[in-house]
Amino acid sequence: MKKFVFAAILSALVLGGCTSTEVKTSGIERKITWEHVGNLPAQKGFEKNIGTAGVLSGVLDGKYVVVGGGANFPYDTVLNGGAKKLYSDVYLLEEKNGKLIVKEHINLDNEIGYGASVTTKDGIYYIGGGATAEADNDILFLSMKNGKLSVEKIGDLPFTLQNGTAVEKDGKLYIISGKQNGKATNKMYEYNIATGKVKELAPVPGAATRTQAVSQILDGKLYVFSGGDSIAYTDGYEYNFATNKWAPAASVELNGEKISLLGASSVKLNEKEMMVIGGFNKEVYDNAVANLSTLKGEELAEFKAGYFGADPAEFNWNREILIYNSDSNSWKTIGQVPFDAPCGEGLVLVGNKVFSINGEIKPGIRTDRMYGGTIIKK
């Protein structure tokens, strides 16, 4: 298969790193046993859910999984010029007898996708990712009220946001890189939840444009890894909130091989460790973007046919279950996912279980499947 990427899919993924209940002990050897825990039901007005990518995701009350929005191509294939559709559906899921069961299914006022999701002890913040210019800078807050899912708008950003990442610390949201006002950037902002005030902070080092990175707070510091723009990055950085300064962190690699986390999702395991699943293959992505700018006419048409007709395995997306440890400043793998590597999936942690929900499994194709992995000591 020629190693190209069609431009229409470069913005088709989002990072959904979410924090929930933690696996308390760091540094222990683990493995994950995976099971298929269900398929996400159809959106309103559709008979079947063909899967979505770029979803809102998080955890409420330490037990409910929330997933919603996202995008797919329900009318025709990308190759045939099919239109991308975003959704307003949000699902409240609960695990029962080894399956994720829908407890509640609601529809928002606006369709959403490619925003940044942040789980806190009080609820889930969803930042940007609106289908319209008016909604693309919204900050939504999801919580449980009287046993029901509640969604309210709590503020606006002074810019629109897609394909960025975000974290929360001490009542403030930190919005990192992504497409801000439609342009890829390395800028970072602090949003005060109580006052609505926004302050620009030191930008993420490295490239001046960075989208679809992964981020978590470990030991009180912010860590940002990978992402990309015209090429996929594998670099990492550590941010000190007190000094507003960045320092290098370990690049993403195993045994000397660089690994792209562009399009991946992450969860915080404990104060020392984060887990990452998914991500474009760097070589495939880089070659694709480089060649896309030179292909024309029949060559471009031939590429599209071969590219979108390829099997998911040919894209070689990252299947390693990666763990970063801030104490040792190092990466390791604890195995591979036994399903097609996803990008833009909802990834959440509930106790000792991690759930991977939907996502893109090859350019233009999503899955409606949901997987649950039990984290156990070896």
Question: What secondary structure does DSSP assign to 70-135, as a single string?
Answer: -EE--SS-TTTTPPPEEEEEEEEEEEETTEEEEEEEEEEEEEE-S-EEEE-SS-EEEES-BSSTTT
CA dihedral 88, 92, 96, 101 (to 10 degrees): -20
CA distance 292 to 154: 41
Look at residue 24 in the predicted model and tell me its pLDDT: 56
Look at residue 10 in the predicted model and tell me its pLDDT: 43
- The residue to which tokens 């001046």 are assigned: 208
Look at residue 331 in the predicted model and tell me its pLDDT: 98
Is 293 within the bounds of a domain?
Answer: yes
Task: Please check whether residue 47 is in contact with residue 377, taking contact to mean a CB–CB distance below 8 angstroms.
Answer: no
Alpha-helical (H) ranges within 102-227 are none
- The H or E element containing residue 56 is strand 56-60
- The H or E element containing residue 282 is helix 282-292
- Write the CB contacts of 74 (distance below 8 Å, at least 6 apart in sequence): 46, 50, 82, 85
Is 148 within the bounds of a domain?
Answer: yes
Range of the domain at 280: 7-377
Tokens of 112: 């959403």
Is 2 within the bounds of a domain?
Answer: no
Look at residue 355 in the predicted model and tell me its pLDDT: 98
**Biggest alpha carbon distance in the chain?**
59
Task: Please check whether residue 260 is in contact with residue 233, taking contact to mean a CB–CB distance below 8 angstroms.
Answer: yes
Tokens of 198: 């926004």
Is 176 within the bounds of a domain?
Answer: yes
Instruction: State pTM to two decimals.
Output: 0.93
Total tally of structural domains belonging to the chain: 1
Task: Please check whether residue 308 is in contact with residue 63, taking contact to mean a CB–CB distance below 8 angstroms.
Answer: no
Position 46: which residue type? Answer: F
The sign one gets for the Cα dihedral 241, 247, 248, 249 is negative
pLDDT digits (tens, 9 = 90+) for 112-166: 999 999 999 999 999 999 999 999 999 999 999 999 999 999 999 999 999 999 9
Beta pairing partners, 210: 185
Look at residue 27 in the predicted model and tell me its pLDDT: 67
CA distance 104 to 84: 26
Look at residue 14 in the predicted model and tell me its pLDDT: 36
Task: Please check whether residue 87 is in contact with residue 71, taking contact to mean a CB–CB distance below 8 angstroms.
Answer: yes
- The residue to which tokens 């229409």 are assigned: 8
Is 1 within the bounds of a domain?
Answer: no
Q: Give the CATH number for residue 31.
A: 2.120.10.80
Task: Please check whether residue 113 is in contact with residue 69, taking contact to mean a CB–CB distance below 8 angstroms.
Answer: yes
Residue segments in the chain with a per-residue pLDDT below the cut of 50: 1-21
